[in-house]
Structures are given as structure tokens and as C-alpha cells.
Structure 1
Amino acid sequence: MTDAQVFDLIGVGFGPANISLAVALEELHPEIDPLFLEARDTVVWQPEMLLSGSDIQNNPVRDLVTPRNPRSRYSFLNFLFEQGRLLEYLNLGLEFPLRKEYNQYITWVASHFADRVRTSSPVSAVEFAVLPDGTEGYRVRVGSGETHLARAVVVANGRTPYVPAPFDQVESDRVIHLTRYKSTVERYAEQLRTGRVAVVGGSQSAVELTLDLAHRFPDAEVVNLSRGFAHRLKDTSPFSEASIMPEFVDYYFHASQQSKDELDAELRFTNYSAADMDVLRELYLKIYEQRLDGAQKVYVRNNSVVDTVTADADGVELVVRERHFGQTEQERFDLVVLATGFRNFGLGPAQEPHPPILSEIADQLEHTERGAVAVGHGYLTSAKDGRAIPPLFIYNLNESSHGISDAGSFSLLSLRAETIAHGAAKLLAGADPQNAEGDA
């Protein structure tokens, strides 16, 4: 089925990034007629990681709108006020809000744009198309077979989960990425109550998942396998967190590739392979108390590398090697959860050259020296042969070009939305693409 209506802009995905864009378009450019296509049947933020007691690790005022427009009705504080919880929330004294509450905030904002969103619409491809008026635009294909036409497209459907070797060779419901965590443990709850679960990784998510499993299934054995010598404390210095400021985006974007690599290494532990002190203390204390009671169920095994994986209908066999001395052990688990992160743009083993939904047109887009799709300062792509193409923005996926704040973070979300809203408005009004990119 083809929808004959031509939208000014189609947003792929309706998570925090495109929800923030919907707000920016309403407040800054109401003349633009957008449609947002969301794969899930409801708008919800990270539903598989809505764990009891977990927080968002983000200043709540860095929400979908406040850094751009502190007077907006769509702020987190106004959400609390309208829910009758503002004073009660302030009385908590929390540095970071509960993830469950922030999800409620995100879905509350999204609810104001229900007439501009089609849920249960997973986008399978974006293609160039000739629109009914003879101009060039895009055809966006949905898994159901429907197609939608647009003059501009904004891709913000989240990063692709990274499943490293040897797990990438196994297809099993017993080996899952954290993006399938909650529904999977609920499905296998009866077996997991007295079973064994492995969590692979040394990140904040790995620690949170280990704790959640220990709370859900106190009689189960939970083993956190980590390659590093020890779980690292996340670098939350206000000096390091200058990396989530607009000035750093400019600095990083214009740096050489060698300098970008050096900055990535220096800033890695502000966001990756590290955890906050509160969850590290909780995990350490849990293990200590279990040892004190002579009933240890939770284990952290550092310096551990998984060499082989074999799965069957009932469980998973892992061969685990001690990284420095080479001893191996074969262990069986009922479930293996991978807290192994997400793919960035590039050609490395943990990367991908472009969002998969752009595969039909990717070879026509400009690429970087490392083979990834090139994204401009204002999140706009361009054709590799220099010809003009309809506006195509890639948004909240651009860590390799815009720095660590573009790794799905809320920090600059509202400012990125502003940049794209202004850029789209200029281009749709006929501006030269060379002059249409706003500030990042």
C-alpha cells in the first residue's frame, strides 16, 4: 500500500531524539508537516532496561527541551508539576531521577504528538524517489509493505546492538543482547530462579544487570564475566564532562582523525567500560555479605575471555579463558546476557558503515576516509558525486564525527534537535545546502 500524501519530513524512530525534534518543530517551525515512524507498538524508552531502582545517569534538566528552551511546557520539571509530583520529587534529593520516571516523562511528551506518529511501523529502507510534483524526495518503506513519501528524512532510530565474536555465531534465545533483557528473563523466570546466568561486560549496564538478576532470583547463581582487571569507576569529573558541551562538538568535529582517536581514548571512561560508584558499591557489598553468610551466589570474574559458545534448547556452554595465564574452564549457563554496547559508524569489527535502513542509497552518499557515511556539522549527509540530494539527516548516532555526546546521550539532544529543525526549514524553503547547516 502506498500513501500518496507527501510529508515535509519523515522521522525514522520516535525515541528521545525524534521526540525532541517534534517539540523543536512545533516550537520553532510549525509550518513543517512531519510524520514519525516508530517500530514499537507503543512509544517507550528502553523498555528492556526499566530496572527497579536504576537511574538515568544524566542531569534531569538536560531533558528533551530545557537547554534549548527553558520556558517550554515540555520540560521534565513541568512534567513533574503537571503530575502533581514536583515537590515530592524535589524532596527525594536525588542527583539523578529513576529511569522509570524518566520513561514516564518521555512518553508524556510523546503523547502530545500522537497525531504525527505511526507506531508498529518498523522502517526497512529509505530510497530516493520522484515525488508527484516532479521534485526529488524519499520513499520510506515499512516492514508491513506500506510506503511513505517525504521531502526530507531524519534518521534517529537508535544504534545497532553490538554482538561480538564468538557470540555472533550463535542464534539462540539463551544468548541475548541487553536490548532483549527484561522480556527474556520474564519468559525464563521459572528456570532462572535456581539456575545460572552469565552477564558479559564491565559497563554500567553490566553491573546493573548483575544486580537486577541477583534481586530477581536470589537463589540463582549470577556470574559477571569481564575482560578487564577490575570494574572501573566512571569518570564523572566536571572537567571531563566538558565533552558534553556544544563547544566540544565543534572542537571534535574539526579535529584530525588522529586527534579524534586520541580524544576517544582519553574520554572513553566517561561513558564506556565503567560504572558509577553507587552500583559498584552495591555489587561489592552484596558479594561481601554473601561471603560473610557462607552463601555466595553472585560472582565477578575479571580477566575473563569467552573463546567458544555452544547453545542448545536448554542452555549455553561457554569456554572461558583467563586472559593473562591462559587457563580455561567450561561452564554451563541457563542464560547469557551481553552488555557489550552498540555499533558506531566505521569499518571496524564493532562498527557499521551506515544505518542499515540506508543500505539502498548508501553507495551514493559521501563517505569518510574510514569508509563510514559522512555526516556534516549540522547532521546533514551529502552525495559523493557532489550533486544535490533531498535533505537527509542522521541524528544522535554520530559519535565518530561529533564526539562522545552523540552516543545516544540526552546531554545535547535538544540543541541537536534545534540544529536539525532550522536546517530542515531552510532546505525545505529552497536554501543552498552549503548554507543550510546550523550550528551543532
Structure 2
Amino acid sequence: MTVHDVIGIGFGPANLALAIALEEQQIGLDVRFLDARAEPAWQPGMLLSGSDIQNHPSRDLVSLRNPRSRYSFLNYLFENGRLLEHLNLPAEFPLRKEYARYITWAARHFDHVVDYGRRAADVRVVEHDGETLYSVTAQTGEAYLGRSLIAAPGRTPYLPAPFQTADSRRIFHLTDYLFRLEELTADGAPESVAVIGGSQSAAELTLDLAHRFPGTRVRNLVRSFSLRLKDTSPFSELGYFPEFTEYYHQVTPEARRRLDTYMHATNYSSVDGDVLKELYLLIYEQRLDGDQKVFVDGNIQATAAREENGEAVLELREVNTGAVETDSFDLVVVATGFRDLGPREDQELWPAMLAGVAHRFRTEETGALHVNGDYSLEARGEYADSPPLFLNGLCESSHGIGDAGSFSLLSLRAQTLLDGVLKRTGTAPAAV
């Protein structure tokens, strides 16, 4: 079997940014990436018409690390003949659809180092020809050997109780949104849809459903009082600077939780102002016309979810008064985000694919994996021979809000991680 210097699990934006850094710095490593998808794609279930990426386009795969790179978003526009037209757009941020095409365009340059259609099912440490290596087995049965491993599978979708146990295709996470719509509305528009959550995605989904199915009752159910405005203060945005990442990693767990509380509204359970205004105006006009179809109902928590007679039935409780109701929907979209590393019900101690090797590495008191500053894991004493293992794009609990699935620090994180790989493999950039 071929022994690769590095195996990368996942080829989304995180490992794509790393692949670009490897190429541009002419690193002499044999790297093989595995990706579960049949072809490169970024959030294909959430490419809603009119939705944007919510971050400056130059916080892309490469520009903060190397603004002269051919893989920048700006150069993508230039090479595809849309630069002037895009610069004339009356919009602050690029369309999500366009950024998805940018990512696919960049990924296609690396087809020679990626095996698509290979979902990593199991990771083990093995001995092979006198070396201690990682063996990664894909669901196809193929096995790969590597001297180090970079795990970037993307964060696991989070479905809170009771949705995680609801056995119904009518109840699904937002990442499946467009696919389930195509499947479940082929015979016509749904009569009613529930959107669970108070996030940016939840508000965007509510608007999308209202525009896509004007006659459909759409109910956005929010556990807090209502939808709230996202914190876009430039001072709060300093949390997406590398200096904050370094600071966050050095402080105590208690201090991190305080910082999390402050930074929460910059990314979670909050909505951009333009989306809030559009949604509020839509509801106001429907009320004016005496035909309200869209509702944002706060202080509501689902306590049970099931399918009955071809409908998704939710039992709902008013969190302050305790009043209980039951409502039925054709579809329920759960827009409650993704799991981070940690011990809480909405977190996970480690990515599922690493279950076979997680015991080899140091953990926090909570049981979650301890992650070093360069995104490497630290082997326990009895497993000191463990090959290097890095987590890419999974480390908000150890590195702060800049690691929250955002593009904000993607290219700089790739450099930090690459430096860690070179240090642990004893490899140096090739002379230019």
C-alpha cells in the first residue's frame, strides 16, 4: 500500500485552504484527501436565492495569508469574466451561490490529490513496515495509510431533543433543506411548514419558504423572546482576528465561557438587520391585507415531535407561562446549528470517525479533546508513539469564535496548521 505523508479527511473549505497553502509554498509532502461527496460542493442544501455569505469576500480561502494568490475570490471573478459586474453589485457581501461556485472552482484545481465519494468510516493506528501509521478506512472498504492525519469533516449537524429521535423524513436539519423540498414537494406546495430556531439561517429559511410558497403557512418557532439583531459592531468583530484566537486559547476555561457569552450574538441566535427588516415588513403587509401566512412565535419550545398520518406533529410549550399546544406541519426544518467539541448535550467529545483513536490523546477535565495552539492533539504518555493528528475547522471551544465554521480566519488557520505539520514531520518548504 502507498503510505502518504498526510491524509486529510474532508475537502471542504478548511482542507482546501490547506491544500492551497501546500501548493503555494511548494511543500514536498505526499498528501491525499478523502471527501464524502461525489464532487466538490459547499453547503449545496442551503444555496437560497438572494442569501449572502455574511463576511468580507477577501476573507476567502487564501487572501489573508497570501493576497497575491491566484486562488483568491477576486481572481476567481476575473478569470470567469465577472469582476467589473460583481464590483457594481449594490450589495455588501457576495451571494452564497457565487461563493459556492468560487469554492468549487478552487477545489477543481486539486482533483489530482482528492478521492471523492470516500466517506471516512474508521480511523486506527497500525504498525506497517516498522512505522506507526494511521489507517483510514472509507465506507467503500478502501483503506489509506498515512504518517499524519488532518481531520476536517465539517461540524456535525445538531438536532436538539425531541428532533434527534423523531423518525420522519419530514423533520430534517437545515443542511438538507433544498434536497428535502425537492423530494417532499414534488406534488405541490406544502400547506404548512415549521422552522425551528432563532438563527440567521432560520430567518432566511422562513423568508425563502414565504417567497417560494406564497400560500403556505410558515411558522418560525423561537425559544427566546423573538428574533434578535446580530452584533456587527467593529469592536465585537475583533473576535475574528488572529490576536483574539491566540488570547482565547491561553485563558482559563472559565474565562473562555465569559468570552463566549459576549461573542455569542456575533454568530449565533441572531440575524442580520436587512433580513429582519424584510421579514418584519412581509409579516406587516400580510396583516395589512388580512391574510397572514408567516409567523414568528417566540418563547416556544418543542417538547415532542412525531409523524402521524403523513404529517409532522409537534407538541409545543410556552416557556414562560407553561401553556401547551399541538400543531401539525407538512415539513419541519430544524435550524439549530452544529455541534462543537465539548461535554454539553449540543456538543460532542470528538468527531465520531475518531472514536477508534480518541483514547490515545489528552482530554480536558470535561472529557473533550485537548487541542494545542497549532490545532494538533497531544498524545497521552502511554501512547507517545501516536502519529501527529490535527483538527481543522472543529475547534471553536479551544480557539474561539473565529473557528466557528466561518471563513474569517480560514487562510491564516491553514498556515498555523501547516506550520505544525512541518514541525512534527520534520519537513521544510522547498527552496524557491
TM-score by length of 1: 0.95
Report what 1:357 is aligned to: 353
1:144 lines up with 2:140 in the alignment: yes
> How far has the Cα of 1:20 moved from its partner?
0.3
Report what 1:290 is aligned to: 286
Report what 2:216 is aligned to: 220
Q: CA 1:81–1:71 in 2, change beyond 3 Å: closer, same or farther? A: same
Report what 1:249 is aligned to: 245
Report the Cα distance in structure 1 between the residues aligned to 2:149 and 2:23, rounded to whole angstroms: 17
SS of the counterpart of 2:381? coil
1:329 lines up with 2:325 in the alignment: yes
8 Å CA contact retained: 1:152, 1:392 = yes
SS of the counterpart of 2:24? helix
> How far has the Cα of 1:191 moved from its partner?
5.4
Amino acid at match of 2:162: P
> How far has the Cα of 1:29 moved from its partner?
3.8
1:174 lines up with 2:165 in the alignment: no
Report what 2:400 is aligned to: 403
Report what 2:43 is aligned to: 46
RMSD: 1.3
Report what 2:54 is aligned to: 57
Report the Cα distance in structure 2 between the residues aligned to 1:421 and 1:377, rounded to whole angstroms: 12
SS of the counterpart of 2:135? strand
Q: Deviations over 1:74-119 (max 9, x none)?
A: 0000000000110110011421100000001000000100111111
SS of the counterpart of 1:92? coil
SS of the counterpart of 2:193? strand
1:87 lines up with 2:109 in the alignment: no
1:15 lines up with 2:8 in the alignment: no
Amino acid at match of 1:221: R
Report what 1:77 is aligned to: 74
Q: Which runs of 5+ in 1 are unaligned?
A: 432-440
Report the Cα distance in structure 1 between the residues aligned to 2:413 and 2:385, rounded to whole angstroms: 23
Report the Cα distance in structure 1 between the residues aligned to 2:64 and 2:71, rounded to whole angstroms: 12
SS of the counterpart of 2:2? strand
Amino acid at match of 1:406: D
1:267 lines up with 2:280 in the alignment: no
8 Å CA contact retained: 1:192, 1:217 = no
SS of the counterpart of 2:136? strand
> How far has the Cα of 1:60 moved from its partner?
0.4
8 Å CA contact retained: 1:185, 1:192 = no
Report the Cα distance in structure 2 between the residues aligned to 1:106 and 1:409, rounded to whole angstroms: 14
Report what 2:106 is aligned to: 109
1:189 lines up with 2:185 in the alignment: yes
Amino acid at match of 1:126: V
Report what 2:315 is aligned to: 319
Query: How many residues are treated as equivalent by the alignment?
Result: 427
Report what 1:277 is aligned to: 273
Report the Cα distance in structure 1 between the residues aligned to 2:210 and 2:287, rounded to whole angstroms: 14
Q: Deviations over 1:272-330 (max 9, x none)?
A: 00000011111101111111111111111111011111213611111111111111111
8 Å CA contact retained: 2:21, 2:415 = yes
Runs of 4+ aligned structure 1 residues displaced above 3 Å come to: none
Q: CA 1:64–1:98 in 2, change beyond 3 Å: closer, same or farther? A: same
Q: Which runs of 5+ in 2 are unaligned?
A: none
Q: Deviations over 1:181-214 (max 9, x none)?
A: 1100111114561411000000000001111111
Q: Deviations over 1:207-256 (max 9, x none)?
A: 01111111111111100000111211000111001001010011100001
Report the Cα distance in structure 2 between the residues aligned to 1:371 and 1:18, rounded to whole angstroms: 26
Q: Deviations over 1:151-203 (max 9, x none)?
A: 11100110011111111221210110111111001111145614110000000
Report what 1:434 is aligned to: none
8 Å CA contact retained: 2:362, 2:369 = yes
Amino acid at match of 1:372: A
Report what 1:304 is aligned to: 300
Amino acid at match of 1:420: L
8 Å CA contact retained: 1:68, 1:415 = yes
Q: CA 1:284–1:14 in 2, change beyond 3 Å: closer, same or farther? A: same
